[in-house]
């Protein structure tokens, strides 16, 4: 899919000087949405990314006293196949380590050691039980969201979860982020939520940090709507906002930044 479409992002594009300030603003927006869902229905269902770009956002979100974490059901958007549940590079473990203790019983973790087809069916069922209120995500250096890679993404996928082979750019990003020592250490396969699983949330809050993400941000906001930059799909969502530090915003045209 490649559409000559220049529509803007529906929500705010907020640029702050530092990672901490961008994370604080993103966390405040996400917290507002979570609290509103809790007030509306007594609970909130949230999908989280597990990545260094989310550290500041999650720290500020965890400290927000307005959120009753015992009524938040959390999901993570991808994980490497074959990693043990307590592996420090596993995304479920990474997220569990950064959410408040009260949130951990409500974290629905992907079992990366299970039969992939069976786990896809199980996690799909959990996601489909009720609408998702908020997706908190990042953008990869190649424009991926979750592990929906350029050239291997379907904006109209009928599935909620699928097995994928990681792009080499995505695998190198894990090394550059100091999550693995070498690219050979990074697993080749993962389970990922699909684009419709992410965009099906009532609201999306994206946090992107660092100059190494600047070209992906530019493509997502100013390029065509295309699966060559999966993050461009954010511009089709009715309530998506994007929070950037100065580095991540550095390739945007002046009138946008």
- Per-residue pLDDT tens digits for 127-178: 999 999 999 999 999 999 999 999 899 999 999 999 998 878 777 877 777 7
Asked about 55 being catalytic, the answer comes back as no
How far apart are alpha carbons 88 and 66 in whole angstroms?
Answer: 29
What's the average model confidence in pLDDT over 116-122? 98
Q: Which of 126, 45, 118 is nearest to 81 (CA)?
A: 118
Per-residue confidence (pLDDT) for residue 3, from 0 to 100: 44
User: Residue 79 is inside which H or E element, if any?
Assistant: strand 78-80
Q: Catalytic: which of 119, 149, 167, 245?
A: 149
| Residue 99 in this model has a pLDDT that exceeds 80 | yes
Q: Does the annotation mark 237 as catalytic?
A: no
Query: What is the length of the chain?
Result: 257
Mean pLDDT value across the chain = 93
User: If pLDDT is split at 50, 70 and 90, which confidence band does 67 have?
Assistant: very high
Q: Would you state the pLDDT for residue 89?
A: 85
Q: Environment class of residue 118 by beta-carbon count within 10 Å: exposed (0-12), middle (13-18) or buried (19+)? A: exposed
Residue 183 has pLDDT above 90, yes or no: no
- Say which of 76, 142, 167, 237 is annotated catalytic: 142
Q: Are 80 and 189 in contact (CB under 8 A)?
A: yes
Rounded alpha-carbon distances, angstroms, from residue 133 to 66, 75, 139, 178: 16, 11, 19, 31
Known catalytic membership, residue 149 = yes
Cβ contact 225:5 at 8 Å: yes
Q: Is the pLDDT reported for residue 206 higher than 80?
A: yes
Position 1 pLDDT exceeds 60: no
Q: Smallest Cα–Cα separation from 72: which of 117, 106, 119, 27?
A: 106
User: Tens of pLDDT along 2-59?
Assistant: 444 667 898 999 999 999 999 999 999 999 999 999 999 999 999 999 999 999 999 9
**Chain-centre distance for alpha carbon 138:** 5
Catalytic residue (one of 144, 167, 237, 245)? 144
């Amino acid at each position: 899919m490649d559409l000559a479409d220049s529509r803007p992002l529906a929500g705010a594009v907020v640029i702050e000087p530092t990672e901490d300030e961008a994370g604080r603003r993103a966390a405040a927006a996400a917290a507002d949405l979570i609290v509103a869902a809790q007030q509306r229905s007594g609970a909130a269902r949230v999908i989280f990314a597990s990545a260094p770009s989310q550290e500041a956002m999650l720290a500020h979100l965890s400290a927000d006293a307005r959120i009753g974490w015992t009524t938040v059901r959390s999901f993570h958007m991808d994980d490497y196949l074959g990693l043990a549940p307590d592996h420090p590079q596993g995304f479920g473990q990474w997220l569990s380590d950064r959410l408040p203790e009260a949130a951990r019983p409500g974290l629905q973790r992907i079992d990366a050691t299970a039969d992939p087809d069976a786990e896809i069916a199980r996690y799909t069922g959990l996601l489909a039980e009720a609408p998702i209120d908020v997706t908190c995500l990042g953008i990869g250096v190649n424009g991926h969201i979750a592990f929906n890679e350029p050239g291997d993404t379907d904006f109209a996928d009928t599935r909620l979860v699928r097995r994928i082979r990681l792009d080499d750019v995505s695998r190198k990003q894990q090394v550059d982020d100091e999550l693995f020592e070498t690219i050979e250490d990074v697993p080749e396969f993962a389970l990922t939520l699909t684009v419709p699983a992410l965009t099906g949330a009532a609201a999306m809050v994206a946090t992107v940090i660092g100059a190494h993400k600047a070209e992906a941000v530019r493509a997502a906001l100013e390029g065509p709507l295309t699966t060559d930059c999966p993050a461009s799909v954010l511009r089709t969502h009715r309530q998506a906002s994007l929070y950037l530090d100065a580095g991540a915003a550095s390739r945007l045209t002046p009138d946008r930044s």
